[in-house]
Amino acid sequence: MKILFLAWQDPKSRAWFPIGRLKFDGMQYHFVYTYGAKEAHENFGFQLLYSFPELNKVYASVELFPLFFNRVMRRSRPDYQNYVEWLNIPKGEDEPIAILARNGGHNVTDHFEVFPCPEPDENGLYHIHFFAHGLRHLPTCAIERINQLKTGELLYLANEFQNPYDSRALLLCTDDHHIVGYCPRYILDDVLQLKDKNPELVKVYVERVNPAPTPLQLRLLCNIIAEWPQDFHPYSSQEYQPIIADIPTSYATA
């Protein structure tokens, strides 16, 4: 079972909300709204998605829903193989759900983001890949430092308590004190929880550095590895929970 979440950012407050959950069981895709969508709809003017017009319904399709499909590069594109290399997806594993889990589903025309739900790896550890956020706000010297990073290099997490948009923000720093990006907002709760349990066992590594002209949002690929405590459940807050149990009750055209 592969699970992705869909998040929406309010363009006024810049607050993020997990609004939906996409599951793929190997045969069908299921989409349900989460309680984050209800909060965003009631308090921040979020409009329900055209393909999913009802909050209290489960949508199912054998094809990937257009909202997600349109965020995956077509295999026919001449630069497709380069794109898969940027994402560092192993050969033969470049299925749409894997691409979405890695590329963030960014689209310049809207305010959505896609991210995966982590699962324990083969060693029972917390493990998730992400591209460093916020690079467009960094000075040129920071980008130059990113270009010098090596695969496997250890990065350090630092709190940015005075961040005006999120006092929980976590910076990504090198051992020589260069800021090279931010942790994505969607993993902050989990990472802070894991750090509280055992900060020494939360490690961030450089997975891949894609040189220019790769877009900045795909420049620095990282991965976090941490101990997975027995009582730990990723994305356990109410806003991530589905409004309705995901038993397929209606079908959408993909």
Are residues 239 and 178 located together in one domain of the fold?
no
* pLDDT over 90 at 226, yes or no: yes
Does 77 share its domain with 34? Answer: yes
At residue 21 the predicted structure's pLDDT band, cuts being 50, 70 and 90, is very high
Please tell me the predicted confidence (pLDDT) of residue 249.
45
Is residue 65 located within the same domain as residue 97?
A: yes
- Same domain as 2, residue 112: yes
Average pLDDT rounded to a whole number, residues 208-233: 93
- In this prediction, residue 218 carries a pLDDT of 94
pLDDT, residue 168, reads 84
Is residue 91 domain-shared with residue 147, that is, in the same domain?
no
Contacts of 17 (CB under 8 A, 6+ apart): 7, 8, 9, 10, 36, 37, 39, 40, 44, 46, 239
pLDDT on residue 246 = 58
CATH of the domain at 155: 3.30.70.2330
Query: 7 near 18, Cβ under 8 Å?
Result: yes
Residues 192, 125, single domain; the answer is yes
* Entry pTM: 0.89
pLDDT in the model for residue 22: 97
Mean per-residue pLDDT, 161-188: 89
- For residue 207, is pLDDT > 60? yes
pLDDT of residue 252: 47
Summarised one tens digit per residue, pLDDT across range 65-88 is 999 999 999 999 999 999 999 999
One domain, residues 109 and 28? yes
Q: What's the whole-number mean pLDDT along residues 50-68? A: 95
Average pLDDT over residues 157-162: 88
Q: What is the pLDDT of residue 173?
A: 97
Q: What percentage of the chain carries pLDDT values higher than 70?
A: 96
9-37: average pLDDT: 94
Number of domains in the chain: 2
The three-point CA angle 48-243-62 to 5° equals 70
Q: Give me the mean pLDDT over the 2-21 stretch.
A: 93
Check pLDDT > 80 for residue 130: yes
The mean pLDDT of the chain is 91
Residue 177 has pLDDT above 60, yes or no: yes
**Contacts (Cβ under 8 Å, ≥6 apart) of 93:** none
Same domain membership, residue 166 and residue 77: no
Report the alpha-carbon distance of residue 205 to residue 26 in Å, rounded.
30
Range of the domain at 46: 1-117+235-254
| Pair (245, 228) in one structural domain | no
Q: What is the DSSP letter of 136?
A: G
Task: Of 147, 145, 123, 118, give the one whose Cα is nearest residue 224.
Answer: 118
Residue, of 166 and 29, whose pLDDT is higher: 29
Based on the fold, state whether residues 173 and 240 are members of the same structural domain.
Answer: no
Q: Are 2 and 65 in the same domain?
A: yes
Distances (CA, A) of 66 to 6, 27, 103, 147, 240: 13, 17, 16, 35, 22
Which pLDDT band holds residue 247 (cuts at 50, 70, 90)?
low
The tokens describing 84, both together, are 């898969």
65 and 89 together in one domain? yes
Q: Could you tell me if 250 and 52 are in contact, meaning their C-beta atoms sit under 8 angstroms apart?
A: no
